[in-house]
Each structure stands twice: as structure tokens, then as C-alpha cells.
Structure 1
Amino acid sequence: MTASPTAPVPHEGPLLSVRNVDIGYRTGRRTLLTAVHDVSFDLHPGQSMALVGESGCGKTTLGLGLLRLLPRTGLVSAGEIRFRRKDGTTVDIRSMAKEDLRRFRWSEAAMVFQGAMNAFNPVLRIEDHFVDTFRAHETGRPRRRREILEESAALLEMVRLDPARVLGSFPHELSGGMRQRSLIALALALEPQLLILDEPTTALDLLTQRAIVERLCELREALRFSMVFITHDLGLAAELADRVGTMYAGRLIETGTTRDIFHRSRHPYTSALIGSVPPISGDLIVPESLPGSPPGPSSPLPGCSFAPRCGHAVDLCRERRPEPEVLHARGDGLSHTVACLRSRELAAEGATRD
């Protein structure tokens, strides 16, 4: 697994600033089950951040919450989600009015959902999706359909699709890779500053995954948008991201540059997650699986939520919840932080990755 180099970032403040965000789901008893706890991070212009972790750790909930796309039972119950718009003004997405939020989406920040077939309306042609998106979200003079289709064709060409073949097709008439690339083109329609991608290569074959990842890298370099990339695939995270955040039981337990996480991880869970992936080079080894399961939102644990599965846990870990600690301070949100009471001790013992 090769970690990508850290991309240069302009010193102009964060594009997205997330502070102490809690996200929960209302149940039938009118109680709130918290699925994301006290998450904070900054994302600067041009940066790409991958969120990794096991299923159910809160990655997708966090991604949806950033744009207030949660289902009706979902609620961002605490914290701030501040975004710097193209005109230089900063808004708190949590407090935006419904109409302002609707126009904000796609023009400022867009999302590529997991499973393109479910994201498209099956009874509309691809060209209709582009027309509806432009007319629903853009401001100013409404464009004519012909103008929109000309721009849509250019967007499809950017993701290496034939507009003549794709625009007039229904979603089911396209392959999985074509649908996914069409969805990426649609997300870029109004030149957003931020693109959130939720498992964009799931259920695709390896060659199609490779084509999509390569095109995303090229588009990001050309258009300079920022990305939050939600994935189970650590190889994709290493290739696409400048920064990686590890989530466990709804908490962001370690963040750092891609090199920090894959070569100098300081949280036992991050190290175990990386160790569970077979290497693509070097000696053949048997990956070690992580026993047990993470706790659910209905059964929160005192102390560190990873303690029951951690081979390095001591009594203090089960009693006191660790707060994120900055190990290596860097500018532009690139500091290496970890929420582990024994991180420095384990690093000295060589128990975490170095």
C-alpha cells in the first residue's frame, strides 16, 4: 500500500470546519440514539480527506449530516458545520434556511451517493437528471434546455463517456461503471467546491474501480475541488487522500496525513485495521482479523469504546474516555491527532505502526 504525498494547500483558512458535531436518530420512543459523537476536523481548499472504519462506525451518517441530507429521523443535534462559500462569506450549514440550503447543494457542495442505480430516478433519462439539477440548484437566469445539454455533454466527456450514448439512456441501460461516472459528472455540474463521495466504487469490478479512481484524481487536479471520501478500501484511501480519519463507534479516533496513518499510526484500532489488509508486495503473510464487534449506539460504553477489543487496554482505558491529543502539530488541518490514553506509551514500545 503506497501512501500519496501530502498535497500543497493554500493558506487561506478552511473551506469546511466541523466542530463538536453530534448526529443521532430518533426512535419510536422519541429518544435520540447518537451515531456520531463530538466530531471535529478542518478541510482546506484542494484537500482530500478519507474517512475509514468498519461498517456501522458512522462514516455515511457523518457524510450525510455535513449537507443535511439525513433521513427524517436523523438530526445533527450539536456542534457547528461552517462552510466558506465562493463569495468568501462563511455560513453554518446547520442554521441555513431550507431554500438557501437547496441552492447551496450542488452549487457549493455536492454528494456522490453509494450505488448509482439507487441515486438515479429509473424512469428519467440521464439528460433529464442534468436538466432538473441545473434548474433546481443554479441561481440567475434559467438556462435553455439546449444550453444545459451542451454543458452536460462536456461534463460527460470529462469523465470519459460518450454523451450521444449516455444522455438519451435510462439508468438501467448503462453499465455500473457508466452510471457511477455519470453520477460524478452530475455532481460536478455546478462546479462545487466540495465533493462528498460515499463508497463510489462499491460493487464495481477492479478495472472499473481503477478507471474511476484515476479519473477522480485527474478531475481533482484540474478543477481543484476538495473531497471527503468515505470508504472501506484502505488502498483507495491511500491513493486518493491527503488526509485520513479513522472512525470507530461514531468517534473520530485518529486523523493525520496519509503517511501518518499508514506508516506512523498511533491508535491500536487504526493499526489493526491496516494489519487486516493483505499486502500487495513483500513477504506473503496471513492478515490478522480483529475479533469482536464495535458497540452499537444503543449500548454506549464507559471509557474507550475500543477497550473491549483492544489487546493493549488497561483498567484506566475502561474507565476514562480519551480525548483527541495532537501528536504532531502542522498547519492547514494536517496535524496528527489520536484519541488513545496509551498512544505515546505504545509507540515507545513499538506496539503501533512505525
Structure 2
Amino acid sequence: MSPVTPTPPAPAADGPLLSVRGVDVGYRTGRRTRLTAVHDASFDLYPGQSMALVGESGCGKTTLGLGLLRLLPRTGTVSAGQILFRRKSGDQVDVRTLAKEDLRRFRWNEAAMVFQGAMNAFNPVLRMEEHFLDTFRAHERRTRRPRAEILEESAELLEMVRLDPARVLPSHPHELSGGMRQRALIALALALRPQLLILDEPTTALDVLTQRSVVEQLTELRERLRFSMVFITHDLGLAAELADRVGTMYAGRLIETGTTRDLFHRARHPYTSALIGSVPPVAGDRHVPEPLPGGPPGLNALPPGCSFEPRCPRATEECTATRPELRVLHPRDEGLSHAAACLHADGAELPTRGGHP
């Protein structure tokens, strides 16, 4: 793999836009039973930065993304930690403590989400123009504006994602192609110019050419509107192209974070290396992809030590008993440091059980 490795934007002088500290997210599975799906997640995202969350299905990426905006289903809650967000006014708030009405105003004004299934995100019986009208009227702080004024602004948003407003606005969602629906959803998410856009697998159900178009438009819009982005994906190629930073998740934990170049060229966690090694290269030296055997552990039966230890080819006896913390390996400017949750992340040659290096 030869990923694109853009230079991350410099951190803003006034600190991070989003600061996640020790966040736990869980689901109620019974009257007295609770399953923690995300544990102790911590990271900073600065204005203009883009961060990709990668990992296998079930590792907690989507749960974390939904938790950041408190969009979890009724059985889910953010049970610990802080989600600190710097609003357009300059004030910092903890999203966890926002009252219901303030939270509704916060969404779409300050942070918005593009969901994985665009068809499921739209009401199938409403025309697209009604979706835009409802979003503006529900979330913007201005007094109720005339319908024509909102639709004019909606048309400008659709043109921004290269869609024909005359074709899209009168249509129901099912009358649009998958790519058109996805781009319309991105336009809707950007309606109130949020500072943060969270995207959950926005290209999964699209063909390769449409994926390419959506990625190009996201890159162009981010440069134009200067929003920050959290990009949830299984596609390491998209992560390499869209993200300044990457966070690897495994069994509900962030186990490595760093710049895109760090993780794709100097990965320090064996799981990150295994993910990269399982993808066929599109350029450079050819090699046979090596799939990672086994699967992630059940969240209700995690190993006592490192969660990755049962699958790790370089695990030692110490790994079976000690759960590693995410620690900084290479301190740099704020928001650009490289960190890994591995006892052997310093890079020394490690013995493995069985005696093979």
C-alpha cells in the first residue's frame, strides 16, 4: 500500500476543537446488565484536522461516533468521561452535560453526522425539499425564515456537492441513486456550516467510481469550508487519503493514534500492522496479503491482559496479565503525537511464543 500522506494542519493556538477524555459508552442488555462497547477513549481533534477511526466490525467505531453527538439508541449511554467541544462563540462545553434543547441546537449548528445508510437517514415519504426545510427550521437559531429563502439556500448546498437542485429537491429519496442520496446527505449535514462533521462509512454501499467522486467532494468541501472531520471506515485507502490522523480501535479501545504517515509507515501496534498487511497493494512492491486469523474477543469476555494477545504473533507472557495503556511514543506538537497501547511498542526485536521472531 502506498497511501497519500498529507501534511496535517498546524494545531490552532486556542486549543482543540474536540477533546475526548476517558469516554466510556455502553449498552443496557438487561435490567441489571450493561455492556461497555467503548472504554476510556481519549483523543484531541484540532480545527481543520481530519481523523479516521479504523478497525474490524464490532470494535466500537460507530458507537464512539454516535456517542460524541449523543445520538445513541435508547439503550446506549455515555457513562463516563468528557466530550469537550469549543463552540463557534469560543465557549467550551461538555456535550455530555447539555440539556435536551441545547443539545438539539448544538447538533447541525456545531457538529453534524453523515450516516452509513443514506436511505435509512431520510424519511421515505418526504420529498427532499421537506428534509432541508425541517432541518433548517429545527436547528437554526434565526427566526422562522420564508420557505423560498430556505429552498434557495438548499439549492446552493446541493450545487456545492454537484447535484441539480431542480432534479433533487422535488424527489423522494427512493427516486435518487445511491450516490445522489449520499451527496444530498452530505449537503444536508453541512446546511448550518458545522465545525465538525462525523462520517460513518459514507461510501460503503457505493460503486468505485461514485466512491471516488464522494471522496473528491469531501476533500474539496473541507478545504473550502474548513470543518474538522471524524471519518469512520473499514477502507484503509480512504483513511490514508482523507485523514491527517488515524486512530485504530480494537475491542472497544483506541490502541494506536498518530498522523497518517506514522500509522502507515511506522505502525507500532501489531494490530495496526496486521490491518495494513491484509490489504493488497495498489502500487510499489507486490506482496501477498496476510489475513489476520481469528476474530476480536467478545466484549463481555475480554482477556485479563492485552485484548489482542490471543491473536498477536509477538505476544509474550507479560501480555497475558497486563493491559497496556495508550502512551505517547513520540511527543510532537499538540494533536500530532504518536501513541500506542502495546507493552512492546518501543520497537525492540521481540521474542514470540514458539521461538519465532
Both proteins in one fold, TM over 0.5: yes
2:15 partner SS: coil
2:176 aligned partner, one-letter code = L
| Post-superposition offset of 1:51 | 0.1
Deviation at 1:348, TM superposition (A): 3.1
Is 2:262 aligned against 1:257?
A: no
2:77 is paired with a residue of what secondary structure?
Answer: strand
Q: Distance in 1 between matches of 2:155 and 2:5?
A: 32
Instruction: Measure how far apart 1:317 and its partner are.
Output: 0.3
Structure-to-structure mapping, 1:45-124, within 5 angstroms = 45-124=47-126
Q: Does 1:142 align with 2:144?
A: yes
> Cα distance, 1:256 vs. partner?
0.2
Q: Secondary structure at the residue paired with 2:80?
A: strand
The structure 2 residue matched to 1:216, chosen from 215, 218, 222, is 218
Q: CA deviation at 1:6?
A: 2.2
1:281-335: per-residue Cα shift (whole Å, max 9, x none)? 1333220000111012111221100000001001110100001111111123110
Q: Tell me the equivalent position of 1:266.
A: 268
In structure 1, distance between residues paired with 2:304 and 2:7:
36
* 2: CA distance, partners of 1:209 / 1:230: 15
RMSD of aligned Cα (Å)? 1.1
Query: How many Å apart are 1:29 and its aligned residue?
Result: 3.7
CA distance in structure 2 between the partners assigned to 1:108 and 1:47 by the alignment: 15
On the 8 A contact 2:197/2:228 being kept in 1, the answer is yes
User: Is the 1:21–1:79 Cα contact (8 Å) retained in structure 2?
Assistant: yes
When the two structures are superposed, what TM-score results if normalisation uses the length of structure 1?
Answer: 0.97
CA distance in 2, matches of 1:269, 1:99: 41
Q: Residues 11 and 332 of structure 1 are in contact (CA less than 8 Å); yes or no, is this contact kept in structure 2?
A: no
SS in 2 for 1:343: coil
Q: Which runs of 4+ in 1 moved over 3 A?
A: none
2:18 aligned partner, one-letter code: L
| 2:178 alignment partner in structure 1 | 176
Tell me what 2:317 maps to: 315
Contact 1:4/1:240 (<8 A) preserved: no
The aligned residue for residue 246 of structure 2 is 244
Secondary structure (helix, strand or coil) at the match of 1:327 reads: strand
Q: How far apart, in 2, do the equivalents of 1:17 and 1:296 lie?
A: 28
- Which residue of 2 is the match for residue 5 of structure 1? 6
Shift of 1:49: 0.2
Length-normalised TM-score, structure 2: 0.96
Report what 1:337 is aligned to.
339
Q: In 2, Cα distance between the equivalents of 1:332 and 1:113?
A: 29
Tell me the secondary structure at the aligned position of residue 222 of structure 2.
helix
Unaligned 5+ residue runs, structure 1?
none
Q: Who is 1:349 aligned against?
A: 349
| Structure 2 runs not aligned, ≥5 long | 352-357
8 Å contact 2:118–2:185 — kept in the other structure? yes
8 A contact 2:331–2:338 mirrored in 1: yes
CA distance in 2, matches of 1:4, 1:263: 10
Q: Offset at 1:350?
A: 8.8
1:57-96 superposed Cα distances (whole Å, 9 cap, x missing partner): 0000000000000000001010000100000001100010
SS in 1 for 2:348: helix
Pick aligned residue for 1:294 from 293, 296, 299? 296
Displacement of 1:141? 1.4
Residue 23 of structure 1 is matched in structure 2 by 25
Question: Hey, what's the Cα distance between the residues in 2 that align with 1:321 and 1:247?
Answer: 15
Q: Which amino acid letter does the alignment assign opposite residue 278 of structure 1?
A: P
Aligned AA (1:143)? R
Give the length in aligned residue pairs.
349
How far the C-alpha of 1:142 sits from its partner, in A, is: 1.2
Deviation at 1:166, TM superposition (A): 0.4
AA matched with 2:265: H
- For 1:37, the aligned partner's letter is H
Q: Which residue of 1 aligns with 2:355?
A: none
